[in-house]
Amino acid sequence: MTTITSKLAMLVMLGVATAATAQTCDEAWADYNEFKKRNAMEPSQYALTTYGATVRAACGPDALPVPPGTDTPPLPRVRKPKPLPPPPPPPPKPPKN
């Protein structure tokens, strides 16, 4: 009985998650379309904005096609550490008497 209850609970949660995703997808499209109305740019560039990325994240990559690698963040810059300065010379030895 517990297995059936847990499976039912998982299905209910999955249905809620799917409904939330659909709502988020609709909201993302609404924001994207509003952005297009407010801004004038080359039509092919709209999909490359953060609004386009939000639509792809909420609705899937096929919702708003872009060139491969568009949503991939750049690799981090690894900087070489600055070389350490040479150590100071040792103090002079006191003279021997």
- Locate the domains of the chain by residue range: 25-70
pLDDT (0 to 100) of residue 41: 85
pLDDT per position as a tens digit, 31-58: 999 999 998 888 888 888 989 999 999 9
Instruction: Inform me whether the pLDDT recorded for 17 exceeds 80.
Output: no
User: How does 22-61 read in b/e, with b if 16+ C-beta sit within 10 Å?
Assistant: eeebeebbeebeebeeeeeeeeeebbbeebbbbbbebbee
Model confidence pLDDT, tens digit, residues 70-80: 888 889 988 88
Average pLDDT of the chain to the nearest whole number:
79
